[in-house]
């Protein structure tokens, strides 16, 4: 979350899709703490070594996920906005008052050449074993990305979530889910409203009551 000065001195908060799991659901950091940290970024705790190692691993091997995607999913078309050409997409004025504005932002790992598929690479667990099932904690980020890119005019039809380890490459397809998007938007609105106007917020809302049925495993291959 970046806080940027505006020319007209209006405050601006930027909520990044990678944090929607906490901003909307308080999963790892509750929403009260997220509010405090968004208002005052210096309160954001530093990552511990464990988290740093995981992040470094992910950054280092993102290119391996992309190369596997190129071979198996690209249909020979090089994606837009990938690797060192990634683009930060914005949904400005998601919520605002006279003094403050809140933007949503997202920086996917790639966008297919036809602009219909978001590519998201995950290199989890420092190369260890993948979870057997789809990791639903990724959904707030994925649906958040879809929201932001659709708002930017891209005809997003799905996200291809690519999980890479040195031994396995697995791709899930996640299609837009209107009910979940609406649920996510309500929670983001609630958060941004508290940013703008103060007030109490549920630190950890109940789980989404609906069903996630809009994803499927596309394939899984063993990497030799």
> Can you give the binding site for other proteins, defined by CB under 8 A?
60, 63-64, 66-68, 70-72, 74, 76-78, 83-84, 166, 169, 223-224
For residue 28, with 0-12 CB atoms within 10 Å meaning exposed, 13-18 middle and 19 or more buried, which class applies? exposed
- What is the distance between the alpha carbons of residues 143 and 157, in angstroms, rounded to a whole number? 11
C-alpha to C-alpha distance for 19 and 220, rounded to whole angstroms: 27
Residues 6+ apart with CB under 8 A from 4: 12, 14
CB of 157 to other proteins, least distance (A): 21
Q: Tell the smallest beta-carbon distance from residue 116 to other proteins (Å).
A: 17
For other proteins, the closer of residues 64 and 163 by Cβ is 64
Nearest-approach distance from CB 128 to other proteins, in angstroms: 13
Structure tokens at 119: 């590519």
- CB-nearer residue toward other proteins: 142 or 162: 162
Helices (H), the chain: 20-23, 31-39, 49-72, 139-151, 178-197
Which residue number, 125 or 193, has a Cβ lying nearer to other proteins? Answer: 125
Which residue number, 121 or 187, has a Cβ lying nearer to other proteins? 121
Closest approach of Cβ 61 to other proteins, in Å? Answer: 9
Minimum distance from CB of 152 to other proteins (Å)?
A: 21
What does the alpha-carbon distance between residue 159 and residue 210 come to, in Å, rounded to a whole number?
A: 20
Q: Residue 108: is it exposed, middle or buried by C-beta count within 10 angstroms (0-12/13-18/19+)?
A: buried
Closer to other proteins at the Cβ: 32 or 63?
63
For other proteins, the closer CB: 66 or 147? 66
CA atoms within 13 A on the CB side of 120: 23
Shortest distance, CB of residue 222 to other proteins, whole angstroms? 11
**Cα–Cα distance measured from residue 184 to residue 191, given in angstroms and rounded to the nearest whole number:** 11
């Amino acid at each position: 979350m970046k806080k940027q000065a505006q020319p007209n001195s209006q405050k601006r908060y930027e909520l990044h899709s990678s944090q929607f799991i906490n901003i909307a659901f308080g999963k790892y950091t509750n929403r009260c703490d997220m509010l405090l940290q968004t208002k005052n970024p210096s309160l954001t705790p530093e990552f511990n070594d464990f988290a740093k190692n995981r992040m470094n691993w992910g950054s280092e091997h993102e290119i391996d996920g992309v190369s596997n995607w190129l071979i198996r999913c690209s249909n020979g078309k090089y994606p837009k906005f990938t690797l060192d050409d990634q683009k930060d997409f914005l949904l400005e004025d998601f919520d605002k008052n006279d003094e403050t504005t809140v933007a949503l932002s997202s920086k996917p790992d790639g966008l297919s050449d036809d602009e219909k598929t978001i590519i998201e690479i995950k290199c989890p667990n420092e190369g260890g074993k993948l979870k057997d099932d789809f990791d639903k904690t990724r959904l707030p980020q994925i649906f958040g990305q879809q929201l932001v890119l659709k708002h930017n005019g891209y005809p997003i039809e799905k996200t291809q979530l690519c999980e890479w380890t040195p031994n396995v490459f697995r791709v899930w397809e996640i299609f837009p889910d209107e009910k979940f998007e609406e649920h996510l938007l309500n929670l983001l609105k609630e958060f941004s409203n508290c940013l703008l106007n103060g007030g109490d917020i549920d630190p950890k809302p109940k789980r989404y009551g609906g069903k996630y049925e809009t994803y499927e495993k596309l394939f899984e291959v063993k990497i030799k």
